[in-house]
Structure formats: C-alpha cells, structure tokens
Amino acid sequence: MASTSTIDPSSSATDETPNWLEMPHELMSTILQSLGAVEILNHAQLVCTNWRRICKDPSMWKVINMNEIVDDWGMDEERLNLTKQAVYRSSGELIDINLEFFCTDELLDFITQSSSKLKCLCLSNCYNITSSGLSNAVKRLPQLEKLHLYYTYIYVEDIEVIGQNCPQLKSFKLNKEFSRPHIECDGDAFAIANSMPELRHLQLFGNKMTNEGLQAILHGCPHLESLDIRRCFNLNLAGDLGKLCVERVKDFKHPNESTKDCGFNIRDRAYDDIDDMYSSGYSDIDDFSEEDFFYENYEFSGGSDISEEDDYDYYDL
C-alpha cells in the first residue's frame, strides 16, 4: 500500500507569502506608481521608512496625474498643496503632468519654474488660469511636445505665443464649448497655421472656424497625421476641401462624427439637438444665456500658496 505524505498547510502558506519589504526597489516603485500621486502622498509613503524613501525618488514623479477622482479630496487648497509636493519631489525631472479644475496662475508658474524638461501639459476646466498666466508659463517650456487644453479658455495671441516658444510641439488640443453655431471666427485656425508647423496631431473640438481657417491649417501644418474637427459646424466639407482632408490626413474626424471616443467629457447642454437647429434654421441668438456670456467674456484669476505646516517635504530634504 502506497504511503501518503502529510503537508503542513500553514507552512506552505507562509512560504508563498511575499515579503513586501524585501522586494527589489524597481519593482516596488512600479507597484507604488500604479497607486497615483494622491494615494502615494496621502497614504503609501506613511506605511514604512522604505516606502517613504522610494516615494521620494524623483524617478517616481516624472509623470503626475492630478485628474484622479478622490471623494475625500476636500477643498482646492489641498489639491494645490498635493500638486506642489508632487512637483517638488520630481526635482526637475517632471516630463508629463495632467491637471483639472483647480490649477491657477500661481500653480502653473510654480510648475514651469521647476520643470524645464516638461514635454506634456494637459489642463482641463482650469478657469482660474488667465491668458497672461498661460503665456508666461509656456515661455519656459522649450521642450514641450504636447499641450492639451479642455475648456480652458485662451486668446488667439496665446496660441501664437505657444507656437513661437514651443518649436517642438507635436500635439495640440484646444477643445471648447460650441454654444453659438452662427458665429464664425478663424483666429484660432490662422494662429495655429502660422506658428505650429511641426504639428502631427491637432484636435479642435467645437471650434468656430470656417473653410478658410481649415485650409490655412492644412497649408501651414503639412505634417499632420491626425485631425479632429468634431462639432466644428461652421465647416462645409461636401466639396474638394473634405476630399483633401481625407487624402492628406491619415486619421481624420469630421464635424458630425460620433464623440464617444473624443477623450474627454463633453458638455451635453451645448450640443442638444444641434443638428435640428441647423436643419430648421434655428438661431440661438435670443437664447444666449448669462452662463454663455460668462464663459466667453470673463477670465478667472486666483491663487493659493503652500505653507510650511501643510507640506513638510519642502523642509525634509
């Protein structure tokens, strides 16, 4: 009769349990990075001395995403403080940062003063950034390759400053809320065409440009590989211009194309029954709301400073 061996379950379980403190530095860094900036600063770095040492490594902070949805974030000042801590940790090695809602001129100034190697900057719903604040910031970013702006309002002059000071810019997104389809304006398009010749990727969601502006872009940006002009309803691409877009640009999205994969949350209010408005000859000039006026005519400004009490990392060198 064959003999059977007895296995100690507790011993097997113990042997298979990883010792997190003995994991290689590189592997632990990768695991911690997956938590995101907010989770690292608020929790992970407090677990033990080894994790705190890893979390202070500048290589951990080359990419910072502050768009994370965190229910207990609290007021904007806390978000500002956390972002400054993250940028400070990068020690000038930051190359990619994403910010939403709470960014101010003061914070953008801090980021660009500290991060001359920055290649990618994404700002979404940042109404507290003024025209001058953005213009001054990009002047310090000669290596910038990607600038994505979602519902962050800028002037034509700002686009020109961006193009003149960021010669390596390859990807530009300027996405707006298209609430007055009868107004035509080619200022953005002309500024892009005249100052961003090296663009490979361009997204102008909800822009008021006309065929003339689009023609200028195709002429001034000969290297375009993708062009997204969804919700640009002042364009008429039924003729040769539409064919030229398809022939010249590998990835082309026309004004009426679905917005499901646009990469950001569109504002449904601005586009409700927009096609019906065009087909029926509807004009929303009489329905131009105070909110529309507010977004199209006012800049926002503000700032918040970080205190020694809030951010011990500034003094824990």
Identify the bridge partners of residue 146 per DSSP, sorted by sequence position.
120, 171
Average pLDDT value for residue range 133-162 = 93
Between 289 and 223, whose confidence is greater? 223
Going by pLDDT thresholds of 50, 70 and 90, the confidence category of residue 275 is very low
Could you give the CA distance from residue 303 to residue 77 in angstroms, rounded to a whole number? 9
Average pLDDT value for residue range 163-181 = 85
pLDDT attached to residue 90 = 93
Going by pLDDT thresholds of 50, 70 and 90, the confidence category of residue 54 is confident
Q: What is the DSSP string of 24-80?
A: -HHHHHHHHHTT-HHHHHHTGGGS-HHHHHHHT-GGGGSEEEE----TT--SHHHHH
pLDDT attached to residue 48 = 82
Contact 233, 274 (CB under 8 A): yes
Side chain identity at 315, as an amino acid letter?
Y
Going by pLDDT thresholds of 50, 70 and 90, the confidence category of residue 134 is very high
Closest CA to 160 of 204, 195, 209: 195
Q: To the nearest whole number, what is the mean pLDDT of the chain?
A: 77
Radius of gyration (Cα) for the chain, nearest Å?
24
pLDDT attached to residue 44 = 78
Helix, strand counts (H, E) of the chain: 14, 8
Is the pLDDT at 180 greater than 60? The verdict is: no
Contact 240, 233 (CB under 8 A): no
pLDDT in tens, 238-251: 989 999 999 999 99
**SS3 call for 286:** helix
Side chain identity at 37, as an amino acid letter?
A
Going by pLDDT thresholds of 50, 70 and 90, the confidence category of residue 125 is confident
Closest CA to 245 of 209, 296, 292: 209
Q: Which residues contact residue 74 at a Cβ distance below 8 angstroms, ignoring those fewer than 6 apart?
A: none
pTM score: 0.74
Following CA atoms 279, 252, 208, 233 in sequence, which dihedral angle do they give, to the nearest 10 degrees? 0
pLDDT attached to residue 32 = 73
Is the pLDDT at 164 greater than 90? The verdict is: yes
Domain annotation for the chain: domains and CATH numbers:
59-291 (3.80.10.10)
pLDDT attached to residue 167 = 96
Q: What is the DSSP string of 177-188?
A: ----TT----HH
Tokens describing residue 70: 């965190």
Range from 3-7, 26-30, 143-147 carrying the lowest mean pLDDT: 3-7
Closest CA to 116 of 137, 141, 144: 141
Is the pLDDT at 255 greater than 80? The verdict is: yes
pLDDT attached to residue 305 = 35
